[in-house]
A and B are shown apart, each in its own frame.
Chain A
């Protein structure tokens, strides 16, 4: 079964709106959950990256996680911290069977939002971006 989600609109600068493919993903770990409404799909990111503040929801201390440096689009490097165990991710839509899968995620103080990248997201699902009509279609393989 396919899930279809409308792009989300963001006012990037005054009077200029950008439509981005964003979907509702809930992250579960250690009996706690973080329900995101608009996690942005980012094929330019190798990983799923969550803002560092979310780690606190799961009682995860970044200082205890393995740290990596990644290069941003502007050429600068920033730090990401790999979750020490996989999290469960759930994609839900009313009237559809939920998709559930497990993967490692990364936390960063630099990310501007939740980014759904290649490892753990784009390599788990079939994702079609319809930029003309501003819809994302997702199919579980």
Chain B
């Protein structure tokens, strides 16, 4: 999977290698895909912006 700069700092809903929805709030992103029949196979992630260190 590859996330580009447009995803950085955003919540995304993905299925496999495809980004289905994105936005600034997790709940809003989940709402965008809630009517999909394949909802149970969708994953959600906050994509880091820039470099990170732990």
Contact = CB atoms under 8 A, between A and B. Distances in A.
Candidate in B8, B27, B48, B52 with the most chain A CB atoms within 10 angstroms: B52
Contacts of B42: 35
Interface string A51-71: 101101100000000000000
Nearest to A8: B1
Candidate in B4, B14, B45, B49 with the most chain A CB atoms within 10 angstroms: B45
Nearest to B8: A11
B53 A53 contact: no
A40 B3 CA distance: 13
Contacts of B47: 10, 113
Interface string A1-38: 00000101111111001100010100000000011111
20 contacts: A9-B2, A11-B5, A17-B2, A18-B51, A36-B43, A37-B14, A38-B1, A38-B43, A38-B45, A39-B45, A43-B54, A44-B53, A53-B25, A54-B26, A56-B27, A72-B53, A112-B9, A112-B48, A113-B52, A114-B45
Interface of A: 6, 8-14, 17-18, 22, 24, 34-40, 42-45, 51, 53-54, 56-57, 72-74, 112-115, 117
